[in-house]
Chain A
């Protein structure tokens, strides 16, 4: 079974631009969660989607948004990029029951210049 895939793996953007990251979950998984990892803040939960609905959201500004498609693939969008958005963005998928194990993708490393 293929694992979680994320594209692109690396991105370089400039301040003010917007970016879209993509995540394809493990086949059969209906929940997709997004996390931001930075040296200063560590791993922080961004949001979770289940059956195309956002079920939970972390403490991030509205510039961070996401969506999930009917095939469970998910995209995350960050508008008006700031230098502080430079991070590794990790996507995880699970079956969708609370506390099911989340399996992570390789991440997208975003650099904002």
Chain B
């Protein structure tokens, strides 16, 4: 069965600290995609990154970086030098490439609320 686990419910840090958000997933498929979304207080889910199961290269985008490890079924997200504007709920999600209906369907984790204090 597909499942995404974000064990950290809430994390609080002070500005400029580095913070890592954990994501562990379960799937029986060999081809799948992983996503991170950010949900600020306004409610809209903002797409951050998409990674397919064949690409284990880490990715860095400015202060954001992602570490994908198939061996541990993890796709962790690190924010370097956090800022107050990073305060939001972050969701990890899984999509299987060849599900029974061959459709878009995201399985979300429960989210991690990040609070960055000045």
From B16-24, B41-49, B55-63, B65-73, give the one contacting chain A: B41-49
Main secondary structure of the interface of A (DSSP, over half): strand
Query: Does A83 count as interface, using CB distance less than 8 angstroms?
Result: no
Main secondary structure of the interface of B (DSSP, over half): loop
- Supposing A42-B111, A43-B91 touch, asked if A106 and B105 sit within 8 A by C-beta, the answer is no
> In the complex, which residues 55-75 of chain A have their Cβ closer than 8 Å to any Cβ of chain B?
55-56, 58
Bound form: Cα–Cα A55–B101 in Å: 7
> In the complex, which residues 20-44 of chain B have their Cβ closer than 8 Å to any Cβ of chain A?
32-33, 35, 37, 42-44
Bound form: Cα–Cα A102–B96 in Å: 13
- Supposing A42-B110, A42-B111, A43-B91 touch, asked if A102 and B43 sit within 8 A by C-beta, the answer is no
Q: Are A107 and B43 in contact (CB under 8 A)?
A: yes
Q: Which residues of A contact B47 (CB under 8 A)?
A: 101-104
Provide the A28-72 mask, 1 if CB < 8 A to any CB of B, else 0: 000101010000001101001010000110100000000000000
With CB as the reference atom, state the residue of chain A lying closest to B32.
A99
Going nearest first, the 7 A-B pairs with the smallest beta carbon separation are A104-B45, A43-B108, A56-B103, A99-B33, A55-B103, A56-B101, A106-B44
